[in-house]
């Protein structure tokens, strides 16, 4: 690989320049450094970043806030609930209506439509156990609270806690599923039963791991120092990756195995959900989070130590969060068009055009100064598209 | 004999200079300014990008000055003109010792880790360290 620099720090370096890299990465870098240069546009100081995009797939991450997380009976009950329209107010809308497996568990619409049209694009449901915040505004800090939200949202399934609990108690099939998953009959406390329903839904959704991609094969080849296998990764994708890590600065937010830092940023998109009504984005999300009974600091967290509530307890509400939306994963984008929180980009080419021709006046004045118009050449656009295409899973997704 | 006294004095001086942060054990990062010293150590180490980390901190005052009861910890990205998305909590753990939780470098790049406190006269004191998260 080309020699852009000799420093290979993979974590934090001090101002004195002292480097404290990960020993395993140093070994990989050393291996590649002695090999002949790859016919690659990548630099050897890109290697730690490339390796940090994996390995894939990771194991299911634990969630102690739900006592049924990872339990097969809860997973099976959650799948049953996910396809159950009786949970909605009108008995006709299941979670699966908007989260369609063939579309990466999204719906193909700019904005989701349940009982009414929503403000935001329906998010895909893969790799959810890796996330810190849920929803475009991060209004929930755990997957079961995020699963309860659409059940109760008037524009989505429009149910009440009582409706959800009664539906489970009154349906022999759902009652049986509840008993198997939770080891007892659904009780008379509607809120408790509804939260348990959400915990079962979360247990199932957490199993939706996206499959390996051509990029993962390339990443692992780099990790092994296998030049022959790495060379099979298309040159256009390698150029796109180099741009992603370099001039494009995409890596600043899209990092790690999910290609997301899990946080929120202002992309300079229009702030209005509809004429005259602003979507506050992350600012509103933090306010909802802090007011919620279902956050990780609340009474429904099954973990008495609150061991996963660090983010919730420390999140800062600042004016700059207005208009910020979640950095999404870049895996399986082929299935989940349209893009952005408002579904305003129909294709990935339109997404790249947005970054290429960015309207800086739309960025909040007190926000970060990270984004600048990339002014991509046609070739660069094609290379980035080739790289993003390599993040799609290889086999067809099971229905 | 005079040489022995000098050696003992130098040893004592070196011991004093090293004293700040000794209670935290090895592997601390030193900071100093205007007679004040800080030693800090992160957990986990190396500090990961996009994940929370904690700090154990020792603050040492110049001779004759009192230690503060509270300490503020923050971090910013000067080039991006923003700080962290989280407000760290800092708990006193004994004389001059503190434990900070809830920090996160949510982006790679240059961060400035900042420690602030008030001295006995009420003046704000500040020590900072530039770090590059990758």
Output the CA torsion sign for A45, A49, A55, A61: positive
Share of chain A above pLDDT 70, in %: 87
| Per-residue pLDDT, B8 | 35
| Per-residue pLDDT, A273 | 86
Q: Is the pLDDT of residue B9 over 90?
A: no
**What is the DSSP-derived secondary structure letter of residue A42?**
-
| Per-residue pLDDT, A395 | 61
Among B80, B129, B85, B124, residue whose Cα is nearest residue A371: B80
Q: Is the pLDDT of residue A357 over 70?
A: yes
Q: Is the pLDDT of residue B103 over 60?
A: yes
Q: What residue in A sits closest to B129 (Cα-Cα)?
A: A15
| Per-residue pLDDT, A396 | 57
How far is C-alpha A7 from the chain's CA centre?
31
Residue with tokens 């790049």: B109
What is the ipTM for the molecules in this complex?
Answer: 0.86
Contacts 24+ apart (CB under 8 A), B29-34: B29/A14, B29/B129, B31/B115, B31/B127, B31/B128, B31/B129, B32/B127, B33/B127, B34/B62, B34/B125
Instruction: Determine the Cα–Cα distance for residues A40 and A231; give it in Å rounded to an integer.
Output: 8
Task: List CB contacts (< 8 A) between B88 and chain A.
Answer: 314
| Per-residue pLDDT, B27 | 87
Among A52, A7, A290, A138, residue whose Cα is nearest residue B50: A52
| Per-residue pLDDT, A185 | 98
| Per-residue pLDDT, A3 | 41
The encoded tokens of residue A355 equal 């970054």
The pLDDT of A322-332, averaged and rounded, is 95
pLDDT band at A19 (very low <50, low <70, confident <90, very high): very low
Q: What residue in B sits closest to A366 (Cα-Cα)?
A: B81
Average pLDDT, chain A: 89
B79–chain A nearest CA distance, Å? 7
| Per-residue pLDDT, A365 | 53
B83–chain A nearest CA distance, Å? 9
Q: Are the Cβ atoms of B89 and A314 closer than 8 angstroms?
A: yes
The Cα-based distances of A26 to A47, A243, A337, B134 in angstroms read 10, 23, 39, 14
How far is C-alpha A335 from the chain's CA centre?
14
Q: Is the pLDDT of residue B26 over 70?
A: yes
* DSSP reduced 3-state for B68: coil
| Per-residue pLDDT, A366 | 55
| Per-residue pLDDT, A191 | 98
The Cα-based distances of A324 to A249, A280, A301, B71 in angstroms read 18, 8, 27, 30
Q: Is the pLDDT of residue A73 over 70?
A: yes
pLDDT band at A232 (very low <50, low <70, confident <90, very high): very high
Bridge partners of B129, per DSSP, are B113
Nearest CB to B29: which of A14, A255, A316?
A: A14
Domains with residue ranges and CATH for chain A: 72-205 (1.10.760.10)
- Number of domain units in chain B: 1
How many contacts, defined by CB atoms under 8 Å, are there between A and B?
A: 92
* DSSP reduced 3-state for B72: strand
Q: Are the Cβ atoms of B108 and A251 closer than 8 angstroms?
A: yes
Task: List CB contacts (< 8 A) between A367 and chain B.
Answer: 81-82
| Per-residue pLDDT, A361 | 73
pLDDT band at A132 (very low <50, low <70, confident <90, very high): very high
Q: Are the Cβ atoms of A261 and B50 closer than 8 angstroms?
A: yes
Residues of chain B contacting A, Cβ within 8 Å: 29, 42, 45-50, 52, 77, 79-89, 101-102, 104-109, 129-134
Q: Is the pLDDT of residue B16 over 80?
A: no
The range of the structural domain enclosing residue B21 comes to: 2-133
Q: Is the pLDDT of residue A25 over 80?
A: no
Task: List CB contacts (< 8 A) between A14 and chain B.
Answer: 29, 129-131
Share of chain A above pLDDT 90, in %: 80
The pLDDT of A279-289, averaged and rounded, is 97
The pLDDT of A81-110, averaged and rounded, is 96
pLDDT band at A33 (very low <50, low <70, confident <90, very high): very low
pLDDT band at A364 (very low <50, low <70, confident <90, very high): low
The pLDDT of A299-328, averaged and rounded, is 96
| Per-residue pLDDT, A348 | 97
Residue positions counted in chain B = 134
The pLDDT of A33-45, averaged and rounded, is 62
pLDDT band at A368 (very low <50, low <70, confident <90, very high): low
Instruction: Determine the Cα–Cα distance for residues A314 and A322; give it in Å rounded to an integer.
Output: 18
The pLDDT of A272-277, averaged and rounded, is 88
Q: Is the pLDDT of residue A23 over 50?
A: no
pLDDT band at A2 (very low <50, low <70, confident <90, very high): very low
The pLDDT of B125-129, averaged and rounded, is 97
Please report, for the domain that includes residue B86, its CATH number: 2.60.40.1930
B24 vs B6, residue with greater confidence:
B24
The pLDDT of A300-327, averaged and rounded, is 96
> Out of A203-217, A335-349, A359-373, B17-31, which region has the weakest mean confidence (pLDDT)?
A359-373
pLDDT band at A228 (very low <50, low <70, confident <90, very high): very high
Residue range A234-245, pLDDT digits in tens:
999 999 999 999
| Per-residue pLDDT, B82 | 87
Q: Is the pLDDT of residue A55 over 50?
A: yes
């Amino acid at each position: 690989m080309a020699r852009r620099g000799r420093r290979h720090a993979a974590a934090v370096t001090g101002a004195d320049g002292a480097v404290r890299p990960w020993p395993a990465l140093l070994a990989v870098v050393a291996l590649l450094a002695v090999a002949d240069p790859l016919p690659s546009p990548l630099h050897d100081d890109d290697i730690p970043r490339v390796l940090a995009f994996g390995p894939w797939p990771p194991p299911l991450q634990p969630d102690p806030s739900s006592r049924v997380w990872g339990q097969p009976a809860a997973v099976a009950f959650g799948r049953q609930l996910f396809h159950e329209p009786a949970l909605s107010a009108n008995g006709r809308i299941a979670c699966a209506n908007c989260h369609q497996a063939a579309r990466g568990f999204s719906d193909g619409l700019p904005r989701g439509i349940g009982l009414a049209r929503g403000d935001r694009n329906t998010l895909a449901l893969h790799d959810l156990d890796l996330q810190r915040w849920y929803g475009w505004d991060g209004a929930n800090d755990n997957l079961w609270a995020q699963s309860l939200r659409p059940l109760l949202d008037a524009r989505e399934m429009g149910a009440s806690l009582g409706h959800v609990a009664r539906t489970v108690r009154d349906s022999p099939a759902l009652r049986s599923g509840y008993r198997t998953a939770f080891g007892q009959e659904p009780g008379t406390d509607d809120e408790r039963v509804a939260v348990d329903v959400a915990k079962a839904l979360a247990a199932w959704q957490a199993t939706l791991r996206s499959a390996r991609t051509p990029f993962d094969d390339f990443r692992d080849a780099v990790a092994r120092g296998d030049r022959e296998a790495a060379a099979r990764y298309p040159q256009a994708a390698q150029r796109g990756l180099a741009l992603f890590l370099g001039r494009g600065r995409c890596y600043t937010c899209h990092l790690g195995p999910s290609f997301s830092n899990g946080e929120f940023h202002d992309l300079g998109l229009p702030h209005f959900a509809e004429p005259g009504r602003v979507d506050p984005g992350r600012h509103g999300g933090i306010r909802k989070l802090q007011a919620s009974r279902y956050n990780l600091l609340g009474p429904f967290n099954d973990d008495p130590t609150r061991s996963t509530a660090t983010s919730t307890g420390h999140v800062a509400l600042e004016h700059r969060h207005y208009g910020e939306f979640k950095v999404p994963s870049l895996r399986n984008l082929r299935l989940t068009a349209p893009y952005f929180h408002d579904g305003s980009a129909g294709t990935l080419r339109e997404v790249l055009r947005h970054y290429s021709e960015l309207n800086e006046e739309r960025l909040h004045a007190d926000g970060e100064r990270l984004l600048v118009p990339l002014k991509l050449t046609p070739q660069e656009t094609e290379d980035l598209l080739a790289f993003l295409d390599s993040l799609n899973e290889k086999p067809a997704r099971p229905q | 004999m005079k040489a022995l006294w000098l050696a003992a004095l130098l040893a004592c001086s070196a011991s004093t200079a090293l004293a700040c942060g000794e209670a935290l054990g090895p592997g601390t990062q030193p900071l100093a300014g205007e007679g004040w010293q800080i030693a800090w150590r992160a957990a986990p180490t190396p500090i990961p990008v996009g994940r929370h980390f904690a700090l154990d901190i020792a603050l040492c005052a110049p001779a004759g000055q009192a230690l503060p009861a509270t300490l503020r910890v923050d971090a910013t990205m000067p080039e991006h003109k923003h700080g962290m998305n989280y407000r760290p909590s800092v708990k006193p753990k004994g004389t001059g010792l503190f434990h900070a939780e809830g920090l996160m470098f949510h982006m790679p790049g240059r961060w400035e880790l900042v420690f602030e406190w008030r001295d006995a006269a009420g003046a704000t004191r500040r020590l900072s360290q530039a770090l590059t998260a990758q």
